[in-house]
Chains A and B, each alone.
Chain A
Amino acid sequence: MGLPGFYLRRAYSLFRGEVLVLPSRVAVFIFALGVLLLPLFSQDPYLLRILIFTSIFAILAASWDLLSGFTGQMNFGHALFFGVAAYCTALLNLRLDLPPWISIPLGALGAVLAGLIIGIPCLRLRGTYLALTTLAFPIILMGVIFAIPDITGGELGLSGIDRLSGSRLTDYYITSVLMLGLGFIMWKITDSKTGIILHAIREDEVAVRSSGINTTRYKLLAFCLSGFFAGIAGGLYAHIMRTAGPSTLEVALSFQIVIWAVFGGIVSIYGPIAGVFILFPLLEFLRIMPKIRMLVFAFIVLVTLLYMPQGLIPWLRDKIEKECPRCKIRNVTTRKTCRICTAELD
């Protein structure tokens, strides 16, 4: 046996202790496995294409949750990051002939810069003011894009960008692995000390500041992090679509992100991802009745919200898990005592 056996056993016990104890984590694990193994069962190009876009938008919705859900900085112009990154990636790829694996991270850095630029004026605003102000930025940029068609391609956008990779299957694996990886990183960020500070800023900013934490720096950090992840989604989108047009900055896209995230359940990272994985394919499926598909879509969202106003995934999670009243650790509903502190569960 030796060393590999030791690591295997170690990995298994870690897996049992961290994943198998909670049904929600098991569900996430099965979901990840399902995403990775799907091409074994079906390689239908249409299905793969839908799932590629679903993965991209899942990154986008999760990055919105990082900023707006966790830090409480309501961003109504999240399409800005997406669009800036898509245009940056497209320009880098077209003008400088950079391959996708350089142009996407650089495009995402462009989005980080955008996050800094809009973050600084937005630091003084809160709540609804912030939400309505951030809505303005993508529209301002869109006006600029229309006004300088020589650089940005105007209404038609930039086209002729390189493919992400040679085949659709590779595209699928790149986007879905990135989605799972970045989703995990975002979840880890929210679980870290920084994440706790971000969470505290949402709950009570004055209290955080009075504990000696520079909230300005953390809010800017949240803008940049969220911008980076959204930017990666934007860069991927540009390389998959092979065009970057003004549609990446539309108000409708910003609203769509909010719908996905709130439908899935904010302040959870996996909620928005699940929201996209339910709503985006649903919208595609509704193509069987093309005329009324948006109507049906909007109605489904409205009615779901009536019954689960905190979002679909938190609603489901509360059905199968409960929180320990003493140490706030989540447990399966079937347990009588908490798995960490053995307190009675009610």
Chain B
Amino acid sequence: MIQNIIINGLINGSIYALLAIGFSLIFGVARIVNIAHTAFYMLAAYFIYVGFHYLGMSPYISMPLSVLAVGLLSIICYKIFIQPIREHEAAVLIATIALAMVIQEALLIAFGGHYLGVPPLVSGYATIAGVKVTYQHFLALSVAVLALFGVWILLMKTKLGLALRSTAQDREVANLMGMNEARVAMVTMGISVMMAGIAGAVVVPLYVLDPHMWMHPLIMMLAIVVLGGLGSIKGSFVGAYIMAFAEVLVVFLIPMGAFLKGSVALSIMILVLLIRPEGLFGVAFEEER
């Protein structure tokens, strides 16, 4: 039981962290609340399914390809639907909701509401302290951790990362320093959605696919981002593991836990907000200029 909790908590936490950090990035840099974020995560998972079942591609090729594809698609969507209405926050918000609905409905038409699956990349399992853990779980965990590490390198050690962080800190000053704010926002959109795509690629062999699979991660992701502090990468990382472990603990320890897992995790978020309204690591937001 404890091993199950740890393994599931770590995997869910890493997936949530990938999603939440991407969401946090695009919110911090461009002030876009991208509801369609997890819809892209779902889309990546479906692309891999198509690559595997219809095109006969090896998952090792189809996974990077589909991650790139969703990134590209998100940039196109951003250019067409979001950039022209950037200054109307409410309009951007429902534009992303509508975008998520478009993706969900398109998948529903293309694949129907059936549960689909992709077989695991690696078979076999290891026995740790008497509990079977499949190699696929290990692979998922390591890919997620590697991706998180890659994002950390990108943000902290590259020039692009510097541009992203400075735009997030102060958009106008960054613009004055010669950073093309519009292009930074576009690139951020691509990067953040590609992170969601990686999360999608990680879950494909573990979970079943259906066109409504974006809803639950969306809610958890939003809760994590608020819990950790909006725009704070560290906060999203820590928040993701807190929420994931809270969820897994409830499922394993409380009867009827599967119904209550969302409730308990979200209640934790609200309790934290009662004590610290700006989230765990958030800085109290100054008035937007």
Interface positions of A (Cβ within 8 A of B): 121, 124-129, 131-133, 135-136, 139-144, 146-147, 206, 251, 255, 258-259, 262-263, 266, 291-292, 294-295, 297-299, 301-302, 305-306, 309-311
Contacts and interface: CB of A to CB of B under 8 A. Distances in A.
A207 to B, nearest CB: 11
Given A133-B269, A262-B93, A302-B81, A140 B263 contact: yes
Contact of B270 (A131, A136, A291): A136
B80 to A, nearest CB: 8
A127 B89 CA distance: 11
Contact of A305 (B85, B104, B219, B287): B85
Contact of B102 (A128, A147, A259, A299): A299
B274 A259 contact: no
A71 to B, nearest CB: 14
B124 interface: no
Contacts of A131: 33
Interface stretch (B131-139, B158-166, B178-186, B222-230): B222-230
A140 B104 CA distance: 24
B94 A259 contact: yes
A259 B256 CA distance: 34
A295 B110 CA distance: 12
Interface in B252-289: 256, 259-264, 266-267, 269-270, 273-274, 277-279, 285, 287
B73 to A, nearest CB: 15
B279 to A, nearest CB: 7
B274 A121 contact: yes
Given A143-B260, A266-B90, A298 B226 contact: no
B219 A139 contact: yes
B55 interface: no
Contacts of B33: 128, 131-132
B2 interface: no
A295 B105 contact: yes
A127 B285 contact: yes
B94 A305 contact: yes
Nearest to B222: A132
Given A136-B270, A143-B260, A292-B109, A301 B81 contact: no
A57 to B, nearest CB: 16
Contacts of B218: 251
A136 B278 CA distance: 16
A292 B90 contact: no
A128 B27 contact: yes
Given A136-B269, A136-B270, A255-B97, A262 B259 contact: no
Chain B, interface SS category: helix
A135 B216 CA distance: 12
Contact of B94 (A124, A146, A297, A301): A301
B98 A259 contact: yes
A133 B33 CA distance: 13
Contacts of A128: 27, 33, 230
Interface of B: 27, 33, 35, 81, 84-85, 87-88, 90-91, 93-95, 97-99, 101-102, 104-106, 108-109, 215, 218-219, 222-223, 225-226, 230, 256, 259-264, 266-267, 269-270, 273-274, 277-279, 285, 287
Contact of A309 (B35, B85, B226, B278): B85
A132 B274 contact: no
A305 B95 contact: yes
Chain A, interface SS category: helix
Contacts of A126: 285
Contact of B263 (A139, A291, A298): A139
Nearest to B91: A309
Contacts of B226: 129, 132-133
Contacts of B262: 139-140, 142-143
A136 B266 contact: yes
Contacts of A301: 94, 98
Most buried by A among B35, B106, B270: B270
Contact of A132 (B109, B225, B267): B225
A121 B85 contact: no
A259 B97 CA distance: 8
Contacts of A147: 256, 259-260, 263
A253 to B, nearest CB: 12
B109 A295 contact: yes
13 contacts: A121-B270, A128-B27, A129-B279, A133-B270, A144-B260, A255-B35, A262-B91, A266-B90, A294-B105, A295-B102, A298-B101, A299-B102, A306-B81
Nearest to A206: B287
Nearest to B97: A255
A4 to B, nearest CB: 48
A298 B98 contact: yes
A168 to B, nearest CB: 31
Contacts of A298: 98-99, 101-102, 105
Contacts of B222: 132, 135-136
Contacts of B93: 258, 262
Contacts of A129: 226, 230, 273, 277-279
Given A133-B269, A136-B270, A309 B102 contact: no
B86 to A, nearest CB: 9
Nearest to B95: A305
Given A124-B277, A262-B94, A143 B263 contact: yes
Contacts of A141: 263
Nearest to A143: B263
Nearest to A295: B105
Contacts of B269: 133, 136
Task: Rank and list the top 4 A-B pairs by shortest CB-CB distance, nearest first.
Answer: A143-B263, A146-B259, A136-B266, A309-B88
B91 A305 contact: yes
Contact of A292 (B88, B95, B104, B105): B105
